[in-house]
Amino acid sequence: MSTRPVVAELARRLARADRVLVLTGAGVSAESGVPTFRDALTGYWSRYRAEDLATETAFRREPVLVQRWYAERQRLLEKVRPNDGHRALTDLACLVPILTLVTQNVDGLHQRAGSEDVAELHGRLSVSRCIECGGVGESLEPTGDLPARCTDCGGLIRPGVVWFGEALPERALRDAEAAAERSDVALVVGTSGLVHPAAALPSMARAGGAYVAEINTARTPLSPDADVVLLGPSGTLLPALVEAVREVRRAG
């Protein structure tokens, strides 16, 4: 079945909306060459165990292993670029009165594509901090011995991401939930919808009356509750959707 009528209807709703929530996950960066977490074969969690790399217990047990893994991911980010999906979301923000972009991604690619005020629910990989004094900005890649330590107090340096079992950044979560409750349209892009509290945002938006649209290469546990599911890569579907919103606006 053609997705055209579905895209057209979603575009009409976006063109009329006052408030739009966009929730993104790893899938939106997949076409930039950043691995997702749960895709078979290529996802990080198909090759590694989250318990060994993404918890504070793992970090305290094996800081060198954890620092190396995040430093390697950081090096990859220095080589990749935002894709057409990231750019389309930046463009969409100029076409609706209020767009809140909420991401679970720690790669900073939305900002590099020009998006502002991104609510980063899971932190940012490029911002490391000391686990003792909280000093930020230290590199995970030390010039001297591993593990990397804080130059001020000697504490271990951890990546600025949220690990399993940790609280999300308060302000980002508050902004995301407020935006969900008030949104007219919620776009849920490239997330498996398995990690809470982010995964609760679409149903929160729906409960507040939003039209919920999912864009993903595969169906997810969020799909049954979405008003519409567009199956395909976000790097293609998002630019097409934004072009359709422009057409609606041009037609007046």
Read off the DSSP letter of residue 218.
Answer: S
Task: Work out how close the CB of 222 gets to ligand OAD at its nearest, in angstroms, rounded to a whole number.
Answer: 9
Residue numbers 198-217 binding ligand OAD by CB under 6 A: 216-217
Element (H, E) at 231: strand 228-231
Q: Measured between alpha carbons, how far is 157 from 14 in angstroms, rounded to an integer? A: 43
Chain-centre distance of CA 201, in angstroms? 13
Amino acid letter at 197? P
Q: Which tokens hold the place of 49?
A: 């165990």
Of 4-12, 24-32, 59-67, 132-140, which segment contacts ligand OAD by CB under 6 A?
24-32
Q: Which residues pair with 99 in a beta bridge?
A: 20
Q: At what angle do helices 84-93 and 234-251 cross, to 10 degrees?
A: 30
Site string for ligand OAD, 112-151 (x = CB under 6 A): ----------x-----------------------------
- Is 36 a binding residue for ligand OAD by CB under 6 A? The answer is yes
**Which of 7, 129, 234, 244 lies at the binding interface for ligand OAD (CB under 6 A)?**
234
Site string for ligand OAD, 150-189 (x = CB under 6 A): -----------xx---------------------------
Q: Which residues pair with 149 in a beta bridge?
A: 156
**Which of 218, 243, 247, 249 lies at the binding interface for ligand OAD (CB under 6 A)?**
218
189 phi and psi, to 5 degrees?
-120, 120
Q: What is the CA radius of gyration of the chain?
A: 19
Q: Which tokens hold the place of 6?
A: 């579905």
**Which of 12, 38, 68, 246 lies at the binding interface for ligand OAD (CB under 6 A)?**
38
- Is 54 a binding residue for ligand OAD by CB under 6 A? The answer is yes
**Which of 10, 26, 92, 118 lies at the binding interface for ligand OAD (CB under 6 A)?**
26
122 belongs to the catalytic site: yes
Q: Measured between alpha carbons, how far is 234 from 122 in angstroms, rounded to an integer? A: 21
Which residues of the chain form contacts with ligand OAD (CB under 6 A)? 25-27, 30-31, 36-39, 43, 50, 54, 104, 122, 161-162, 190-192, 194-195, 216-218, 220, 233-235
